[in-house]
Amino acid sequence: MTTRRKFLMTAPLAAGAATLAAPAVHAQGAPIRWRMQTYAGAALGEHVVKPAIDRFNAIAEGQMQIELFYADQLVPTSELFRAMQNGTIDAVQSDDDSMQSPTEVTVFGGYFPFASRYSLDVPVLFNQYGLKEIWDQEYSAVGVKHISAGAWDPCHFATKDPINSLADLDGKRVFTFPTAGRFLAQFGVVPVQLPWEDIQVALQTGELDGIAWSGITEDYTVGWADVTQYFLTNNISGAWIGHFFANADRWAEVPDKLKMLMEVCFEQSHYYRQWWYWGGEADLRVNGPKLQLTSIPDEEWATVEERARAFWDEIAAESEVKARVVEICKRYNDVMAKAGRPYRYS
């Protein structure tokens, strides 16, 4: 927050509105300087983005530098898209849903219920089943470059009270993503939106009963395991879908060699998260000392999966683009189910 206050004090205001000024175009021969803001707080950002930015800056050897800001340091997460679109921020790491992108694919960012079972599903859907092309088209239309998509952790509940049945979810005030909240509301969950940095205090004060924002690795990393007692092993998604984006004009200014370097570093970041989350989820379930595991019986949880299919159809009816994405998700999951173990379990 100190960084944000300092930035706001020194940034000029646009005429008639307290908005951050767009970065100046770099001088001839001077280093290209970008500002990137991530959805993640500093503790989580140490894993999900900082290694990639440090590596890029080192390899770029002064030709380009990316300055990294964490959740809400420059603008609130819900304003990330607009800030990037107008050039206030050059690049963003986020899901579509929490930054409220004005595209037809926004509902599929973050956690689209049961679209994935494992983290590897995400790169397959984007690189082999056509989602990358759809995202490229949607963001190009609104002045943003979609650089790449990757998988994060699964979506589980961490709560202060034990969850052993669907009935236990009724009335629980839960911090979650907009689309996940829309889906979970039918089970009595009360979705709550708060700044990321306020979540731990909100759990302590009783403003929140729990979170459905991450897997257990993130719960431990960011401190949420310190203020919750239970972790529900059932999840509504096997992997969060997140992305790297850039302002299209800023991207066009970057030499091709540096664009390629950025893409490689971001792809390596996706790979890092694959194993960091995957290993952490298992290890902390078994060896983590802070959260007690609970489960909803499989036969009861099957009704949640059935509702997800109805939810998919509801989303598909909203537009042609959404229908295309849902059709891809259905086709992919059908292939995985027919392939059987280890791709899908009955």
pLDDT for 197: 87
CATH number attached to the domain at 155-238+288-339: 3.40.190.170
Segments of 108-154 assigned E as strands: 144-151
Task: Say which residues have a Cβ less than 8 Å from residue 212's Cβ, sequence separation at least 6.
Answer: 155, 156, 157, 174, 175, 176, 180, 184, 189, 236
Is residue 48 exposed (0-12), middle (13-18) or buried (19+ Cβ within 10 Å)?
buried
What's the mean pLDDT in 39-51? 96
Residue 38 near residue 93, CB atoms below 8 Å: yes
What's the mean pLDDT in 297-321? 97
What's the mean pLDDT in 121-128? 98
Checking if the pLDDT of 49 tops 60, the result is: yes
Higher local confidence (pLDDT), 196 or 235: 235
Checking if the pLDDT of 221 tops 50, the result is: yes
Going by pLDDT thresholds of 50, 70 and 90, the confidence category of residue 345 is confident
Checking if the pLDDT of 22 tops 80, the result is: no
What's the mean pLDDT in 240-255? 98
The yes or no reply on domain 2-152+241-280 and CATH 3.30.420.40 is no
Residue 129 near residue 332, CB atoms below 8 Å: yes
Q: Average pLDDT over the chain, rounded to whole?
A: 92
**Residues 153-168: pLDDT tens digits?**
999 999 999 999 999 9
pLDDT for 3: 45
Residue 82's SS3 state is: helix
Task: Say which residues have a Cβ less than 8 Å from residue 196's Cβ, sequence separation at least 6.
Answer: 39, 40, 41, 71, 72, 77
For 58-93, letters b (16+ CB in 10 Å) and e give: eebeebbebebbbbbbbbebebbbbbbbebbbbbbb
* Phi–psi pair at 117, nearest 5 degrees: -110, -30
pLDDT for 30: 85
**Residues 62-76: pLDDT tens digits?**
999 999 999 999 999
| Domain-wise residue ranges, the chain | 2-152+241-280, 155-238+288-339
Whole-prediction pTM: 0.90
Can 2-152+241-280 and 155-238+288-339 be said to share one CATH topology?
yes
